[in-house]
């Protein structure tokens, strides 16, 4: 029996559990250390960063990705379009077609093949390291990257089963690397 690439891609959109069911939920995380490279005008600093108190803690919600019908349609049409190019052995265009039904290759994996996602948020009123005060990171949830979550901007988080994390954030003035510990928050209390 022959299964097409587009059929496999659509199967990837079905709800699947990458981490054990008990890993999903709310977490509170504390940053132990932070290092980075900061550019300010002609000055460059590389080394330990002392975070303000409001940046030493964040919250995250780990859940399965639940694609909406619009995303499923975009993925189906985009995969079909790129599959035709692949089968024709033509080079990919530098620019994504100017139609709404085709997503750029750079974001196809993030929108169509991710299984789990983390919504990372800092306490309200605190200065967030990113503009909209929330960061969504996604994971393929397979054996190769079950604990690695990332986005298309270069931000990523590696979360170990015992709750330790490494977080890389891309700021406008340079990248930072943070490590620390997360613990699951009991929703009953």
Q: What is the pTM of this model?
A: 0.72
Asked whether residue 129 falls in the same domain as residue 102, the answer is no
Residue 74 Cα distances to 13, 67, 108, 112, 113, angstroms:
12, 11, 9, 9, 12
- 3 within some domain: no
| Domain harbouring 153, CATH code | 2.40.128
Asked whether residue 120 falls in the same domain as residue 159, the answer is yes
Q: pLDDT tens-digit profile of 143-171? A: 655 688 888 788 999 988 889 999 998 87
User: Strand, coil or helix: what is 13?
Assistant: coil
pLDDT for the residue numbered 46: 92
Closest CA to 169 of 46, 32, 34: 34
Judged by average pLDDT, the poorest of 11-25, 33-47, 73-87, 163-177 is: 11-25
């Amino acid at each position: 029996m022959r299964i097409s690439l587009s059929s496999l891609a659509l199967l990837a959109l079905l709800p699947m559990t990458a981490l054990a069911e008990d890993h999903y939920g709310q977490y509170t995380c504390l940053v132990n250390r932070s290092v980075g490279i900061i550019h300010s005008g002609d000055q460059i600093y590389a080394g330990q960063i002392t975070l303000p108190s409001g940046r030493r803690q964040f919250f995250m919600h780990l859940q399965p990705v639940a694609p909406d019908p619009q995303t499923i349609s975009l993925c189906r049409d985009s995969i079909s379009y790129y599959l035709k190019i692949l089968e024709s052995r033509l080079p990919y265009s530098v620019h994504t077609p100017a139609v709404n039904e085709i997503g750029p290759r750079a974001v196809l994996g993030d929108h169509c093949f991710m299984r789990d996602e983390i919504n990372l948020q800092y306490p309200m009123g605190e200065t967030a390291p990113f503009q909209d005060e929330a960061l969504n990171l996604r994971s393929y949830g397979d054996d190769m990257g079950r604990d690695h979550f990332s986005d298309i901007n270069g931000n990523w988080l590696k979360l170990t089963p015992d709750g330790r994390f490494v977080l890389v954030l891309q700021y406008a003035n340079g990248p930072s690397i943070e490590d620390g510990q997360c613990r699951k928050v009991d929703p009953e209390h």
